[in-house]
Structure 1
Amino acid sequence: MAVTIKDVAKKAGVSPSTVSRVLSNHPRISVETSRKVKEIMEQLGYHPNIMAKSLVSKTTNSICIMLPKSAEELFSNFFFMELIRGIVTQASRLGYDVLISSGANEKEEVEAVSRLLNGRRVDGVILLYSRKDDPVIDFLYENGHHFVLIGRSERYPDTLSVDNDNVQASYDAAKHLISLGHERIGFVSGPPDLVFSKDRLKGFMDALNDAGLEMRPEWIVEGEFLQDSGYRAMSFFMNLPDRPTAIVLIDDVVSFGVLRSLHELKYKVPEDLCLVSFNNIPLSELSTPPLSSIDIGIYNLGYTASQLLIQSIENGNDKNYQKRQIIPHRLMIRESSMHSISKK
C-alpha cells in the first residue's frame, strides 16, 4: 500500500498541512522541521504525487530546453552538450526536472513550446540560440511565458538572457592575430540569421578597422557549426590568389575541419596559416596543433540560464535582478597562433 502524506505526518508528529508546506519549500517552515519531515519521507519511502501537487500549486517544477533544429549539429558539437550539462546541474540542485524538445522548423518549434506551456507540462523554457527574427521568441514574449535566451534578442532587449560579449570576444581574437603582424586575416562565420554570428563578425571587423587593415569580402565565409563547413572554407581560402595568413573561426568544431583540410593540402599550422577559434572545448587543446580558442564559459552559460529561469518562475519578473547576464570570456593562446609575421 502506498505511503501517504498522512502517514508521514503521523510519524513526524506534525499535521498533513505541514508536510505539504515542506514539499513546497514554504518559507515559514523551520529548517529543523523541514529536515525532520524529509528524513521521515525517506524512511517510509514516500514519493509526492507530482501531478496532484501541480494542480494545487499550478507549477510543474519542470523546465524545457528547446534544441536547435539540426540534430546533426547538436550531437556533433560538444558546445551544446556542455551547455545542457550546466542547465541540468543547476535545475537538479533547485529541485526541477528538465524536458528536452525540438522541431524540424520554426512552426513546429512554436507548436512544441505552446503545447508544453499551455498544457502545463513545464513552467518555462530555455532557448539555446538567438535568431534575428524568431517566432518562438515572439510567442513566448507576447504571451508572457517564463523563458531565458542564451544569446540576445534584437527585438526584445529587455528579455531574460545569458550571453557573452561576443563583439569584444571576437575583437580580442582578431587583435591577437594583428599583434603577431598579420595584415591579411579571414573570418569563417556561422549562419547569418544567428545574432551572435553577426556580433562576432562586427567585433572582428572593428578590430581590423581600428588597426587600419583591409577587409576583403572574399575573406569572409559563412557556414554551419560542422567540420564540413571548415573543410570547405579552406578549399576556398587556399585557392585565392591573395589568401589570408590568419583566420578567426566561429567554432572549434569548424576549426577541426579546417585542420583536416590544411593537412590534406600539405599546409602547416601556424607556419602557413594561424588560427584562432571559439568555445575552447576540451578537444581544442588535444588537436594537432593545439588550438588557440576563446573560452566563453559554456557550462556557466547553461548553469546561469537555468538559475535565472527558475528565479523568474518562483519570484516573478519584477524582482530586483539583472535581466541580462554576461559571462566573461578569455583567450587561450596555444600553438595554432604562435607564429609572428613581418609587417610589410
Structure 2
Amino acid sequence: MTVTIKDVAIKANVAPSTVSRVIANNPRISEKTKKRVRKAIQELGYHPNLNARSLANQMTNSVGIVMPESASKSFQNPFFPEVIRGISSYIQSREYSLFMVTGETEEAIYEGVVKMVQGRRVDGIVLLYSRVDDKIIQYLIEKKFPFVLIGKPQQTAQDITYTDNDNYSAGREVTEYLIKLGHTHIAFIGGSPNLMVTKERLSGFREALLMADLQISNDYICHMEFLQEGGKEAVEQLFQLKQPPTAIVVTDDLMALGVLSALSEKGYSIPDDVSVISFNNVILSEISNPPLTSVDVHIFQLGYESAKSLVEKIEAPDLLPKNILVPYTIIERHSCMKQEGR
C-alpha cells in the first residue's frame, strides 16, 4: 500500500501542508517540527512525488548555471568542473537538477538565459562569474528572478546575493609575499579586465606595490584568457621588455602552467631566475614542474555555498540578500624563492 502525505501528517501529528513545507525545507518551520516530520517520513518509507510538488508550486526543481564563455573553453580550466561539482553536491541533496547555459558569444549566452527564464525552465540561476556592466545581471534584477553570483558584483553589492573570496586582500597578500622575498620587478597576469575577479586582484596588487614604494608599470600588467595559451602569450610580451620581471603574479593556475612552459622554453629556471605565484590551487599546481605556490580559494566551497544560497532564495523569496566570503590560503610550494643578493 502506497504511503501518502496524509499518513505522514497523522504520524507526525501535523497538518499535511506542514509536511509539504518540511519537504521543501521552508525556513519558517521550526527545527523541532522538521525533525519529527522527517522521522515519520523515514519510518513510513514515504517518497515525495516531485512531479506533483512541482506542479503544485509551479516549480521545475531545476537550477540553471551560466558559464562565462563557451563550454569548450571553460572546461579546459579545472576551476569550472570543480565549482560545478560543489553546486551539484548541494542541489542533488535537495533533489534539484542542473540546467547549463553556454554560448560562443556574450550575446548567445544572454539569449540562452532569456529563454531559460521566460520558458520557466529553472527556478533560479547561478552565474559562475561577475562581469562589469553585465546585462544578464540587469535582466535578472528587472525580472526579479532568483539568482546568485560567484564573484563580487560591480555595483549594488548589498542588493545581490553572492559568494566570493576577498580577492583584493588576496591580490595584495601574494604581492607582499614576493616583495618580502626581495623582488622589486613584479608583473601581473590576469584575465579580462571586465571580470571583477581580475579587477579586485589587480587592485590588491597595485596597493601592495604602492605601500612598498615600488613603481607600478603598465608594461608589467597583462590581460589574457584563462588558458595555458594566455600564460604563454603574456610571457612573450613581458620578456621582450628591457627589464623583464623577476617575479609574476598569475591569477589562474592554468595560465601559470603556460607561464612555466614558456619560461622554460626561453631557458629561464623557476624559481632561480623567476618566481611565480598563482591562484586556485587545482591539482595541476601540485604536479607542475616545479610545483606551484598557489592561493587555495576553496573552489568546491564557492560552488556549494552559492547553490545553498540560491535554494534558500527560491524557497523563501523574501530573504534579504547576503554575501558569503569563503576564506583563502596561500599554499607554499617550490615556484618562489628569495631573490639573489637580498
Alignment TM-score, normalising by the size of structure 2: 0.89
Instruction: Report how far residue 23 of structure 1 moved.
Output: 4.8
Amino acid paired to 2:190 = S
Instruction: Report how far residue 193 of structure 1 moved.
Output: 1.0
Change (3 A) 1:142 1:341: farther
CA deviation string 1:117-160 (max 9, x = no partner): 33222110000011101110010011111100001221332211
Instruction: Report how far residue 261 of structure 1 moved.
Output: 1.0
Query: Is 1:147 equivalent to 2:147 in the alignment?
Result: yes
Question: Any stretches of 5+ residues in structure 1 without a counterpart?
Answer: none
Instruction: Report how far residue 298 of structure 1 moved.
Output: 0.8
Q: Percent identity?
A: 38
205-214 vs 108-117, which moves further? 108-117
Distance 2:127 2:250 in 1: 23
Change (3 A) 1:141 1:231: same
Taking only aligned residues, the RMSD between alpha carbons, in angstroms, comes to 2.5
Distance 1:91 1:114 in 2: 22
Amino acid paired to 2:331 = M
Change (3 A) 1:30 1:150: closer
Q: Which residue of 2 aligns with 1:330?
A: 329
- Secondary structure of the 1:73 match is helix
- Secondary structure of the 2:56 match is helix
Distance 1:228 1:271 in 2: 23
Distance 2:214 2:294 in 1: 22
Distance 1:119 1:4 in 2: 34
Amino acid paired to 1:136 = I
Instruction: Report how far residue 17 of structure 1 moved.
Output: 4.7
- Asked whether the 8 Å contact 1:62–1:98 carries over to 2, the reply is yes
Query: Is 1:104 equivalent to 2:104 in the alignment?
Result: yes
Distance 1:235 1:218 in 2: 12
- Asked whether the 8 Å contact 2:251–2:278 carries over to 1, the reply is yes
Instruction: Report how far residue 84 of structure 1 moved.
Output: 0.6
- Secondary structure of the 1:212 match is coil
55-64 vs 142-151, which moves further? 55-64
Distance 2:199 2:242 in 1: 27
- Asked whether the 8 Å contact 2:22–2:34 carries over to 1, the reply is no
Distance 1:22 1:279 in 2: 37
Query: Is 1:54 equivalent to 2:47 in the alignment?
Result: no
Query: Is 1:207 equivalent to 2:205 in the alignment?
Result: no
Distance 2:146 2:192 in 1: 27
Query: Is 1:193 equivalent to 2:194 in the alignment?
Result: yes
- The alignment covers a number of residue pairs equal to 334
Q: Which residue of 2 aligns with 1:226?
A: 227
Change (3 A) 1:239 1:11: closer
Q: Which residue of 2 aligns with 1:184?
A: 185
Query: Is 1:264 equivalent to 2:259 in the alignment?
Result: no
Change (3 A) 1:11 1:332: closer
Change (3 A) 1:302 1:33: closer
- Asked whether the 8 Å contact 1:126–1:309 carries over to 2, the reply is yes
Change (3 A) 1:227 1:25: closer
Change (3 A) 1:49 1:292: closer
Q: 1:157-176, aligned counterparts within 5 Å?
A: 157=157, 158-176=159-177
Question: Any stretches of 5+ residues in structure 2 without a counterpart?
Answer: none
Instruction: Report how far residue 199 of structure 1 moved.
Output: 1.1
Amino acid paired to 1:177 = L
Q: 1:1-344, aligned counterparts within 5 Å?
A: 17=16, 23-24=23-24, 27=29, 31-38=35-42, 40-41=44-45, 48-50=49-51, 52-157=52-157, 158-319=159-320, 323-343=322-342
